[in-house]
Amino acid sequence: MAEDKVRRAECACGQLSVEVAGDPEFLPICGCRYCRKRTGSVYGAGAYFNASQVQAINGDSTVFRRGSDSGRYIEGNFCPTCGTTLYWRAELWPDRLAVAVGCFEDFDLPKPQIAVYTEHIQGWAGFDGDIPSFPGARPQPTS
């Protein structure tokens, strides 16, 4: 784990940035409608960091709050200049900040641990078959 490493992610124009320390706690691939529309791609990948790992958020952002396939809300923060959704907060994990993986300049983030809502991902879009995947949300523990 890269506990001391500070990672920087920024929007396309550089006006909005986030700095986080260490590795993300969770890094899923998601094919839900929100993630596909947020990215304009076949799925999204977000690196979820504990609030204590967030070192700085710089620049102006606009917040867009919407529902998700799980029925919970997500608040996406995007740059009002270039439109990049750089980070978001999910009702499911209020103590975490998710940062769009594609906005990091370094390429040493850990491999995603899970893929969810894969039933909505284009059949030709692949990812590592070793990643556990679920057609909908990840099943919750029953205990």
Domains of the chain, earliest start first: 6-120 (2.170.150.70)
How many alpha carbons lie under 13 Å from residue 9 in its C-beta half-sphere? Answer: 29
pTM value surpassing 0.85: yes
Report the DSSP beta bridge partners of residue 50.
96
Three-class SS of residue 25? coil
Tens digit of pLDDT for each residue in 16-70? Answer: 999 999 999 999 999 988 888 888 999 999 999 999 999 999 999 999 998 776 7
**Single-letter code of the amino acid located at 45:** A
Q: Which residue has the tokens 């078959």?
A: 129
109-to-20, 23, 34, 47, 129 alpha-carbon distances in Å: 12, 7, 23, 9, 18
